[in-house]
Structure 1
Amino acid sequence: MYINKISGYVPHDRIPNDYFKNLNDLSDEWIIERTGIKERRKASVGENTHTMGIEALKVGLESLPYPKEEIDLIVGATYTPYDTIFTLAHACQHFLDISDIPVVSVNTACSSFLNAVEVVEGYFATGKAKRALIVLSEHNTAYSDEHDKKSGHLWGDGAAAIFMSNERVSNVDLAIKSVSTGGAGNIGKAPESVYLRPANEGFKMPFGKDVFLNACQYMAKSTKEILEKSGYSLEDLTYLIPHQANLRITKNVAKNLNLPEEKALSNIQYLGNTGCAGAAIVIEENQHKFKKGDLVVVTVFGGGYSYGAMLIEC
């Protein structure tokens, strides 16, 4: 599989840490120390999960190396839907005006990016598609309680679009060497550590420490396994892109893998936790750094304790 184009979108409005000082007495220093976040982006009035996903899609179409009409599969991924029936994927199909193709929705919380890639992998393997579009979009601020001292300051909004093919279409394609996901919903406090239930009016994260510990463990484990599976070692790794949940988690995973911190790419400092779109936005932001032959691992961990890793060769 190949990534032909990856594009991102983040809202214009910036929310600095000082905003939360006035709301719930959390200082800028306290937030940075515990999360690494200095500011985050917030969707404006009129923006939602659908509109942000379409904006990311528009950017990608500007330099897509084939006509949009060749797209024959759309996978939408979000845990913060604008509409649970006319989904993100349907909205993107409507915008593209492409008829009679599979349209699939995925939600495995913040790990949805890699599960969406696996859905594409399955369609490619069975010959049911050749050109796929994945759209990741999170409107976290629509579901978060800004007054919640445990997690209200973590969330940012954003989206990404990934155009994929079953065969190489240009010499700048990123090759997906391997992708693997798993679920650990049966361990620890997975059912209640972080959840979003309509009756509870927003995100709740009563057991953030349990999320932290398991995220560090599983993202490091997944990274090692995907490299070994493909015949590589940690010494061969050029960059690591962890799920953008917390800068302390990113640093911990890098430390556990004996990687220099500069090899672990991050955007949570200025975007906040943008959910399943975060790691994809990191790829888009840093693609200019990648050189031919570089190896990049994307590793994710989400609420419900789903996890995975993907190995990319530039």
Structure 2
Amino acid sequence: MAERRSVIVGTGSCLPEREVTNAELSTRVDTSDDWIVERTGIRSRRIAAEGETTSTLATVAARHALEAAGVEAGQIGLIIVATATPDYTFPSVATQVQAALGINDCVAFDVQAVCSGFLYALSVADSMMKGGTTDKALVIGAETFSRILDWEDRTTCVLFGDGAGAVVLDAQNGDRGILATRLHADGRHREMLYVDGGPSATGTVGKLRMRGKEVFRHAVVNLADVLVETMDALGLTPSDIDWVVPHQANMRILQGTAKKLGLAPEKVVVTVDRHANTSAASVPLALDEAVRDGRVKQGDMVVLEAMGGGFTWGAAAVRF
């Protein structure tokens, strides 16, 4: 009997209308387009306008994914939103999306693993679906990191953007679907990437702080290792991979990881130049773009990977 798997049957995304270029940022902080592009590969990012929140972006992305999947909102039995920038301390973004979609009752909650959040949420949803919780689920990564940036710190404010991406999962028997996930965390490295506020510690939202060089070094090693671990679990080699959809943090991290694994650069989906780092939203945003422009096709072997503050990191192998 064929194994029950969680198949990605639809993708969707949402980006704020406002685009902020490097040239515009250079009028606000001591930086330049050349400086940002050379160090990060980023040329522009989207910034949420007043009234745009993590939940509104997540809802639009969810609607697009449902439409692509041909699934009615009422068929969804599970919503997981990965985010580090919720609208409120509570209720969760997931329940706000649930209400906006007109779903009266389903399992709905948020996952917080920063940039790795979508991989964590995907793994949790896959496990719950295999356990029989539901046959159809929405997994969303959504962020408004612009709300926690120090806009006077040129080393961090140039790196991030806002957006949301979503996938619809359908439980099916067969060879397609999520084949393996591997997740990790190491809380010893908190000081390298964190937000200096929170409800319990300071009673404030806080601002993002990062030691870029240290994060870069850990990212290349951890991402390469978890990709190898995930491929090894399935007996795969880099030549078996059709597409890598990485967390869009920094062009040099993407290139360094691909080189370390011997992956062809043309197999790596890149959106960081236009979206910057959208944290938990970056993987589903990039995936949606690659699906909609025809690069990712049914039957392709796709590997997703991400690393974020905590540190947390993970990867998933998916047969489309």
For the superposition of Structure 1 and Structure 2, which TM-score range results when normalised by the shorter chain? Answer: over 0.9
* Amino acid in the other structure paired with 1:57: A
1:222 aligned residue (222, 226, 232)? 226
| Cα drift, residue 295 of structure 1 | 1.4
Conserved? CA contact 1:180–1:226, under 8 Å: yes
CA RMSD in angstroms, aligned pairs only = 1.6
CA distance in 2, matches of 1:23, 1:115: 35
Unaligned runs of 5+ in 2: 1-5, 199-203
Q: Where does residue 201 of structure 2 map in the other structure? A: none
Conserved? CA contact 1:219–1:242, under 8 Å: no
Q: Where does residue 180 of structure 1 map in the other structure? A: 182
| Cα drift, residue 168 of structure 1 | 5.9
> Which runs of at least 4 in structure 1 moved beyond 6 Å after TM superposition?
none
2:91 aligned residue (86, 89, 96)? 86
| Cα drift, residue 293 of structure 1 | 3.1
The answer to whether the aligner puts 1:290 opposite 2:292 as a matched pair is: no
CA distance in 1, matches of 2:85, 2:298: 36
- Within a 5 Å distance, the mapping from 1:165-314 to structure 2 comes to 165-167=170-172, 175-186=177-188, 190-196=189-195, 197-198=197-198, 199=204, 201-205=206-210, 207-287=211-291, 288-314=294-320
CA distance in 2, matches of 1:292, 1:89: 28
Superposed CA deviations along residues 24-60 of structure 1, whole A, max 9, x for unmatched, are 2201100000010000001111101111111112222
CA distance in 1, matches of 2:173, 2:286: 22
| Cα drift, residue 296 of structure 1 | 1.3
Conserved? CA contact 2:82–2:112, under 8 Å: yes
Identity, in percent, stands at 32
TM-score in terms of structure 1 length: 0.93
CA distance in 2, matches of 1:33, 1:298: 25
| Cα drift, residue 177 of structure 1 | 1.3
CA distance in 1, matches of 2:80, 2:150: 29
Superposed CA deviations along residues 242-288 of structure 1, whole A, max 9, x for unmatched, are 11110110000011011221111110101111111101111110111
**Aligned pairs, how many?**
307
CA distance in 1, matches of 2:252, 2:278: 16
* Amino acid in the other structure paired with 1:144: L
CA distance in 2, matches of 1:62, 1:294: 22
Q: Where does residue 31 of structure 1 map in the other structure? A: 36
Conserved? CA contact 1:4–1:174, under 8 Å: no
Conserved? CA contact 2:59–2:101, under 8 Å: no
Conserved? CA contact 1:20–1:146, under 8 Å: no
1:76 aligned residue (73, 81, 102)? 81
- Within a 5 Å distance, the mapping from 1:56-205 to structure 2 comes to 56-167=61-172, 175-186=177-188, 190-196=189-195, 197-198=197-198, 199=204, 201-205=206-210
CA distance in 2, matches of 1:168, 1:153: 44
| Cα drift, residue 237 of structure 1 | 1.3
